[in-house]
Homo-oligomer: A and B are copies of this chain.
Amino acid sequence: MEFYYYTLFAGIIAIIYALFAAYITLKKDEGNKKMQEIASAIKSGSAAYLNRQLKTIAIFAVILAILFLFLPNGYEITIAFLTGAIASYLTAYLGMNVAVRANVRTAKIAEKGTNAAFKTAVIGGSVTGFAAVGFGLIGLSLLIMYLTISKVEILIGFGFGASLVSLFARVGGGIYTKAADVGADLVGKTELNLPEDDPRNPAVIADNVGDNVGDCAGMSADVFESYAVTLVAALLIAYGISHASVINFAYPLYVASIGVISSLLALLFIDVKGENATLALYKGIGSAVIIAAILDFALTWYLSLPLTYFYSVFSGLVLAILLFWITDYYTGRGKKAVVKVANAAKGGGGTDVIMGLAVGLRTTWFPAVVIAIAIFVSYISAGLYGIGIAAAGMLSLTATILTIDSFGPITDNAGGIAEMAGLQEHIRKVTDKLDAIGNTTKATTKGFAIGGAALSATALFVAFAEAVGLSSIDALNSIVTIGIFIGAMMPFIFSSFLMEAVGKAANLMVEEVRRQVKTIKGLLQGKAKPDYARAVDIATVNALKALVIPELIAILTPIVIGLILGKEALGGLLVGMIPASFMLALFMANSGATMDNAKKYIEEGHFGGKGSDAHKAAVIGDTVGDPLKDTAGPALNSMIKVVSTISILLAPVFMAYTLL
């Protein structure tokens, strides 16, 4: 039997599980009328955003699809491209639609205690995780089945489809979620002294919608993209190195298929013993890694492949664990660095932010060192191919990581619904606790997403060099140097637009909230309902408006550089961009997470607790950190992959036409 039947089968299993998990979730009790009402507002806001975002993506996708028809093998590439885009959107759609139903069910079942609520949120989250790997494997397997292996370069279309959707979902979702969050907090908490998720805050529904479109849909598109492009990169490298060897071609897909099994088994280990739910989630990841390592070893042995292949895959798995650990070490609740930032808040908002940025900058060193080691180990084990399969090994954890990540927005929403619906104290305690766990795991999975993006971009870089036929990219060549400088600049200018968009949209949100408080009588007394839809609309419109420029920067820069300066300069661009973007993303994401948790640390009663001057200072730090960690930082992941995939996709063009 051809190898792609096996991988198709693995993908189908993943989808069956995802549907099963969705079924279980939907069967659960969705609580009283008030809860359903709130949940329905979140649900329809999220769906409305995803639909409108789809329209914007569709415009870009259609234009690109038409242009791709002019490429060699244009017809096949266009099909692959649309398949990738659809697979990515299906993942986000299915995952998020279950998440916005799992939230209220988690809130409801929380009356039965932490354990039950925890499980509901995990199962709800697992839909996203398994949908991602399922659609990824099915899409790739079908393409390989119906196209032909000798036209492997077509597969990059699939990767680019995933990339395009991811770029939109990350950028749009990121701006949406933080415009709503920052806007809601600035007036709600600071001016009106309302608690988080207070139903009197007009932006509260938008805030909860943001969790879904940003942390759930955006993150799933990002990791799906890493998954897809990593596999494509590995296939391209395999093909470039040994045209004839089907086994080298199949191996990374097998590793990914093993990921389905190990992630399914790992679900059994994600359970709460006593009260430590964080530990439960980490057990999940740990077991997924161990099971995957054992099965990957067995696979390599069974196929009689060199054991060095396994070493490469293993280095990817270890990298994932280490990135998880270091993020937690620096940004986890109550960790030394977090307390340091909280302590600095005593000096005011300025010193809080200074120290928060210092911690974020600090967090780059360990990931940089371990990713360098992983690249080196995989390279000396199996050459450039080793880098591809190391990335495949790391990304084979996708289902588990996304499960744990989607747990975040579900519990966050559950907490919000419990608060807004005025559920009893003991229930809200449960949802608050889960929400807190979700916050930590969201931060740590972000470390994985950033590392995964960097490693898969490195694999894509190798694939790019093969695609354009470069056997070396020499930094002493000044045309390459130009590319390096432009590339290193890209993450900075790209995130500039995102930061600005959040700042602007948050300000509009602030004005709208202030307006509603002023004009709707009885709002603050809880006698009149705010106009939630208006706030949802502001976040939606502004996120979509702010999408365009960053998208164009990411898509057009490599095209312009490639057409004017040629393939060497474009190679230089990737060389400059990938590491700079990796560091900037780590800096941003971890600064934000640390300042967030420093605020929470103070809220737990340290340094004066809630309402103290230190708390006010920490709230400022949290506000600054919000777009850093949830908008700009994560969007860089998508940017580097889009730039890398389009560079490969247009390789034939750059080889044929160049100005210089």
Contact = CB atoms under 8 A, between A and B. Distances in A.
Contacts of A472: 472, 474, 476-477
A473 interface: yes
Contact of A583 (B376, B488, B628): B488
Contacts of A353: 353, 620, 623-624
Nearest to A183: B347
A304 B212 CA distance: 69
Interface string A572-586: 100110011011001
Nearest to A373: B482
Contacts of A621: 350
B362 A493 contact: yes
Contacts of A477: 472
A351 B471 contact: no
Contact of A488 (B481, B582, B628): B582
A476 B462 contact: yes
Interface in A589-633: 619-624, 627-628
Contacts of A351: 182, 186, 503, 506-507, 623
Interface string A499-536: 11011001100100000000000000000000000000
The copy count of this chain in the complex is: 2
A364 B488 CA distance: 10
Given A488-B579, A496-B361, A481 B186 contact: no
A269 interface: no
A190 interface: yes
A475 B372 contact: no
A168 interface: no
Contacts of A354: 182, 499, 502-503, 506, 623-624, 627
A472 B582 CA distance: 25
A464 to B, nearest CB: 10
Interface in A266-324: none
Contacts of A462: 476
A375 interface: yes
Nearest to A365: B493
A495 interface: yes
A186 B477 CA distance: 49
Contact of A347 (B186, B362, B487): B186
Contacts of A460: none
Contact of A348 (B362, B365, B620): B620
Contacts of A437: none
A571 interface: yes
Contacts of A364: 489, 492-493, 496
Contacts of A376: 478-479, 481-482
Nearest to A479: B376
A543 interface: no
Contact of A624 (B350, B362, B480): B350
A63 interface: no
Interface in A88-112: none
Contacts of A142: none
A251 interface: no
A636 to B, nearest CB: 11
B182 A485 contact: no
A355 interface: yes
Given A379-B478, A485-B582, A503 B623 contact: no
Contacts of A478: 375-376, 379-380, 384, 387
A373 B478 CA distance: 10
Given A351-B186, A358-B499, A372-B482, A579 B580 contact: yes
A489 B373 CA distance: 14
A369 interface: yes
Contacts of A395: none
Contacts of A624: 350, 353-354, 357, 624
A489 B350 contact: no
Contacts of A645: none
A347 B514 CA distance: 12
A620 B349 contact: yes
11 contacts: A344-B503, A349-B623, A350-B620, A350-B623, A364-B493, A365-B493, A369-B486, A379-B481, A473-B474, A488-B488, A492-B586
Given A346-B507, A354-B503, A475-B480, 19 more contacts: A350-B623, A351-B507, A351-B623, A353-B623, A355-B500, A357-B628, A358-B496, A358-B503, A364-B489, A368-B485, A368-B486, A376-B479, A376-B482, A461-B475, A470-B476, A472-B472, A485-B582, A488-B582, A620-B620
